[in-house]
Amino acid sequence: MRPARALINPQALRHNYSRVRSYAPLASVMAVVKANGYGHGMEWTAKTLRDADAFGVASAEDGILLRDAGIQKPICLLEGFFHPDELPTLVRHRLSSVVHHESQLWDMEHAGKIDPIDVWVKVDTGMHRLGFPPEAIPEVIKRLKVCMAAGRVRVMSHFPTADNRFDSVTPDQIRLLDKLTQNLNVDRSLANSAGIVNWPSSHFEWVRPGIMLYGATPMIGMSAAVLDLKPVMTLASEIIAINQRRKGDAHGHDQRRQLELEGGFAEGDEIADAALQPVERQNQQTADYPA
């Protein structure tokens, strides 16, 4: 059998979740498991993080997979529903949805007689990708609170540059969301992994950790080790050849590799930044790539 393998560590995942809790002890946690749990397996990740208060996924299909796997915690569609035909599916599987556009709001208002669906209204505080403009939020909330298809209404937004500790946009976003929601009596969510680590005033009632759960740093200039985050996935293989070369000889496709590991050229495309990680031999670091 091929010796190349990806090793998944549930203890590391739970440890990283505990770091989220230590940074934001008063907030509820929506663990983001989209993109197949960042490549770690969505169902496995959700089952391992059974103490999370909710899970964030990309689509109704992902939410159904988690329900079929036995996950009972709240599940939110972070991109929202794509077509009004999905609304009965959301009801059937008890999925909540982000509402970020007037078309979705209209669909809910004209959904007919269905059980209510909990919603997260997304406001664009600076990401400029998805979300209602800030000035529209009071009216959107008002409409949803009288909409028969809407259950509990919450508000969220997203950071574009919170990974920079010295960013000037992030504080403005925090102040804007706080001001917008002061008199709305709704739960709020703004903090992604970077917000959790470095912007405590962004924690509000809910935080949404993603990349830090899996052991990667969310911050520029701060390593995962400094943040006490542990890698959940490690790539292991075996040395299949050690060849002697004269000093200065070029070698390999990128003219740098001197140690050959089984795994195959271009067979690790789904393992992010694998070539940037230290290489260890019998627990001894032997090389860092790139050189």
Nearest to 76 by CA among 59, 61, 88, 52: 59
Total domains present in the chain: 2
| Structural domain includes residue 142 | yes
Q: Identify whether residues 256 and 192 lie together within a single domain.
A: no
| Structural domain includes residue 231 | no
pLDDT on residue 281: 56
Q: Is the dihedral of CA 229, 233, 239, 245 positive or negative?
A: negative
Taking residues 3-20, report their average pLDDT.
95
pLDDT on residue 287: 41
pLDDT on residue 269: 40
| Structural domain includes residue 244 | yes
| Structural domain includes residue 190 | yes
| Structural domain includes residue 222 | no
User: 5-8 and 233-236: which strand pairing?
Assistant: antiparallel
User: 278-281 and 260-261: which strand pairing?
Assistant: unpaired
pLDDT on residue 262: 60
Q: Identify whether residues 178 and 269 lie together within a single domain.
A: no
Check residues 56 and 263 and name the one with the higher pLDDT. Answer: 56
pLDDT per position as a tens digit, 194-244? 999 999 999 999 999 999 999 999 999 999 999 999 999 999 888 888 888
pLDDT on residue 278: 54
Indicate which CATH number applies to the domain containing 44. 3.20.20.10
| Structural domain includes residue 173 | yes
Q: Identify whether residues 51 and 157 lie together within a single domain.
A: yes
| Structural domain includes residue 220 | no
Question: What is the residue range of 88's domain?
Answer: 10-214
pLDDT averaged over the chain?
90
Distance between CA atoms of 4 and 261, rounded to whole angstroms?
8
| Structural domain includes residue 266 | yes
pLDDT on residue 118: 98
